[in-house]
Structure 1
Amino acid sequence: MGGHEQQTVAALMTPCVYSISPGDSAQSAARLMLEAGVGMVPVEAPGVGAILGVVTDRDIVVKVVAKSIPTTAAVCEFMTVSAETCRPSDNVVSAAQTMLEAKLHRLVVVDESKHAVGILSLSDIVREHPSLGSLIAGGLMREIPADQR
């Protein structure tokens, strides 16, 4: 199976350089994503650094723009609370299973203190393990109605 049973999340994740606070605006979150070239940003508790949730580009489009909510709305009003996480020492197969079960394309990688240290995306897995990535993507696509793909 290509050795992915032994590989850890740390070997594939993208180190997390960016995060936002729950009081930041939707517009500032969108600008950060644009500048960083990312589709998801962890939301961290100010002064503590623990992950409270995440904001995705889709959250901004569906929960803010589509509902005509001002882009000055605070991230805490529309973020995904209690985001699914994994640890750098977790194996890739375990993380992939979490993605599939939670119907996610990305996981926040956290350390023992729940601080974001990276992001593991479906594309990270596909790049190294195409067959495993295809299984996850195939499972995710089965969950999406054909008329919404």
Structure 2
Amino acid sequence: MVSVSAVMTPNPAVCDANTSVRDVARMMLDNDCGEIPVVDYKGKPIGVVTDRDICVRVVAIGGDGTTAASDAMSSPVRTVAVDSSLQDCVALMENARIRRVPVVDGEGKVTGIVALADIALAGKNKETAKVVKEVSAPAPN
């Protein structure tokens, strides 16, 4: 059984709730990613800011780069433990319709992130297609 630790991106960039979305966007650019976990003072995730969150929750309503991450983040955050199976991670992504999942250690601190691309690189074409289909499907009404 494959563990999420085998496919995750380790030590992802993180921010705190007061970080500006301009700085969050810069982190995304510098780290070639589309999600930055928002952590509390202990390093535990309290939300995530995605590139889409910045577009929809800030830019689309006339906000600017000084907006705090806490005003743009999606919360509550869904996570998986570092020792979780990739199968459990995929199930969470499918059920929650999310494209990225922060990975937490035994203390609940962010230690990695699993994205669809990580699953695509680790998986078989048929499995990858199924995950992409489930995550991308419109939410039922």
* Cα distance in 1 for residues equivalent to 2:43 and 2:70: 15
1:29-44 counterparts in 2 under 5 A? 29-44=24-39
**Structure 2 counterpart of 1:112:** 106
3-state secondary structure, aligned to 2:36: strand
Report deviation, 1:126: 1.0
Q: In the alignment, does 2:96 pair up with 1:98?
A: no
13, 20, 32: which is aligned to 1:18?
A: 13
TM-score by length of 2: 0.93
What fraction of aligned residue pairs are identical, expressed as a percent? 30
* Cα distance in 1 for residues equivalent to 2:34 and 2:55: 12
- Computing the radius of gyration from Cα coordinates, the structure with the larger value is 1
5+ residue gaps, structure 2, are none
Report deviation, 1:129: 0.7
**Structure 1 counterpart of 2:68:** 74
**Structure 2 counterpart of 1:136:** 131
3-state secondary structure, aligned to 2:37: strand
TM-score by length of 1: 0.88
5+ residue gaps, structure 1, are 1-5, 145-149
Counterpart residue identity of residue 138, structure 1:
K
